[in-house]
Copies of this chain bind each other. A is one copy, B any other.
Amino acid sequence: MKTAHVVELDRQDARILDALQDNARLSNVELSEIVHLSPSQCQRRRQRLEEMGIVQHYVAQLSPEKLGLTVMALMSVTFERHGEHIAQEFREHIVDYPEILECWSVTGDADYILKVVAADLKAFNDFMMYKLLSLPMVANVRSNLLLEALKSTTRLPVHYGR
């Protein structure tokens, strides 16, 4: 359990975060032009935002298409039986499968919903049959193929109170 203290941000912090969510490689000088602060202020604020854990990390986003990953899907997984150690066992498998990008426990009919990528439908089917359904706790899997992204971002809305 993480104790995530919510942080109060001012408008400048919010703008810095917005800018970095779009482009993590901005220099402090470039940032300063966007935010209308001095470069040194930008540097200090950014460092502070990193230390506070608001900025978790910087990552490169790759093109699934160019990597030959043509299939994405959401998979609703239902368990046969439940229990803490069963969930733990499931978790250990989940993290090792690189085709699983996300795995959430959810409200509703399913126990978990997974976001998955695969090279093609055959690879996707193989993943489902031989990796997911072969897990003993998994009773049922229902898939929704993701056809077209009307929107796809990791950019969180940043509110500022001060």
Contact = CB atoms under 8 A, between A and B. Distances in A.
B6 A59 contact: no
Given A95-B150, A145-B106, A61 B58 contact: yes
Interface stretch (A32-40, A128-136, A153-161): A153-161
Interface string A70-111: 001010000000000000001100110011111111111010
A4 B74 contact: no
A96 to B, nearest CB: 10
Q: How large is the interface on A (under 10, 10 to 19, 20 to 34, 35 or more residues)?
A: 35 or more
* Main secondary structure on A side of the interface with B: mixed
Nearest to A87: B150
Contacts of A63: 4, 53-56
Contact of A66 (B53, B98, B108, B143): B53
Nearest to A106: B144
A101 to B, nearest CB: 6
Given A66-B52, A110-B144, A148-B105, A157 B60 contact: no
Given A66-B52, A157-B69, A58 B25 contact: yes
Interface of A: 2, 4-7, 17, 20-25, 52-69, 72, 74, 90-91, 94-95, 98-108, 110, 112-113, 117, 119, 142-159
